[in-house]
Amino acid sequence: MAYEKEFLRQIHRDLLEIRLLEEKMKDLYAQGRVPGHVHSGVGQEAAYVGTLSTRRAGDYYKLTHRPTALPRMLGTPLEMMFGELLAKKTGNSGGRGGSLHMGELRTGVLGMSGTLGCDTGVAVGAALTLDMEGRDNIVYMFMGDGTSSRGPVYEAMNLAAVWKLPVLFVCENNQFAISTPASVGIPVENALADRAAGYGMPAKVADGTDVLAVYEAALEMSEYVRSGKGPAVLECRDYRWRGHFEGDQCAYRDAAVAKEWMENRDCVKNLETRLVAEGVLTAAEIEDMRAAFDGEMESAIAAAEAAPSITPDEIYDCLYV
């Protein structure tokens, strides 16, 4: 596919920002500055950035617990994201959700259930709304390889297929569900793509470490969904660089394999090498972007740290009883 220079610069900027945010969040956690958990998505950014680069205004998103930084790409301010991460009143959920619950409804993010897989029904419900309102929009439903084996996922996929609803089911296959390798827990090679035929859905598998390969596959599948033909599946194959959560020592896997992915399949490094070789960006421009964004993140963190924390008597506010 031939690309405009501006498009390549934008997709690189998004990829780099999500990488730098993911790194910053794990570093803040290591420094003991995050009161909750962080599920780092470092190394997996291309699967999400490539897919979300096909989005249009008015689309809906069901994100997962990883990568945490994606709401940045969808328009949530950095100060609000760090506020949420640091349990501050300035966070998008007033500090109640933390890293698992980043993002705002205003940007199309429909929240996230900690009970993995149950979000799929919400995504299909949102797609029913889009369909009944006659809108030219779709729902991006992201899930991990482990989540792809849950029952609620298949009930929802079945209904979406029967009613031809506009959902793109995106499986980011990082080859692990906590410590369980996909090869042990999943009976097919491609966790969701190989099961799509059972629902009559088309599916594409992309190299999840190549942001442009993901973009091209996502464009084909999202255009199919937008055309009203029904739901589709996209599977992006990559590797979870970090532990399941920060602090997980990954004693259950081969460190040499992980090292190989990190050294040779780094989605940011590989895109930058290509764009510099093609004259789209210079190494100096990339350095400037990194420094400028680091400055933006540091001021947002300082503002978040200075903001008031949520107090124990407020934690039950906003609960529906």
Ligand X SMILES: Cc1ncc(C[n+]2csc(CCOP(=O)(O)OP(=O)(O)O)c2C)c(N)n1
66 binds, among ligand X, Mg ion, none (CB under 5 to 8 A by kind): ligand X
Q: Given 3-state DSSP classes, what are the helix, strand and coil percentages for the chain, each rounded to the nearest 5?
A: 50, 10, 40
Nearer to ligand X, 144 or 231 (CB): 144
Chain contacts with ligand X (rule: CB under 6 A): 64, 66, 114-117, 144-147, 174, 176-178, 240, 244
CA–CA distance from 60 to each of 53, 155, 316 (Å)? 13, 20, 27
The CB-of-307 to ligand X minimum distance in angstroms stands at 29
φ/ψ (deg, to 5) at 190:
-105, 110
Nearer to Mg ion, 146 or 166 (CB): 146
Nearer to ligand X, 116 or 138 (CB): 116
Nearer to ligand X, 8 or 236 (CB): 236
Q: Per-residue string for binding with Mg ion, 154-193, x by CB under 5 A?
A: --------------------x-x-----------------
Distance between CA atoms of 37 and 71, rounded to whole angstroms?
A: 17
The CB-of-39 to ligand X minimum distance in angstroms stands at 6
Tokens for 1?
Answer: 């596919």
Name residue 178's amino acid. I
Rounded to 5 degrees, what angle do the CA atoms 184, 189, 194 make?
A: 125
295 binds, among Mg ion, ligand X, none (CB under 5 to 8 A by kind): none
Is residue 43 at the binding interface for Mg ion, with CB under 5 A as the rule?
A: no
115 binds, among Mg ion, ligand X, none (CB under 5 to 8 A by kind): ligand X
Distance between CA atoms of 162 and 230, rounded to whole angstroms?
A: 8
Binding to Mg ion (CB under 5 A) within 117-146 occurs at: 144-146
Task: Give the start-end residues of each E strand in the chain.
Answer: 60-62, 139-144, 167-173, 176-177, 180-181, 203-207, 232-237
Question: Which residues of this protein are in contact with Mg ion, per CB under 5 A?
Answer: 144-146, 174, 176
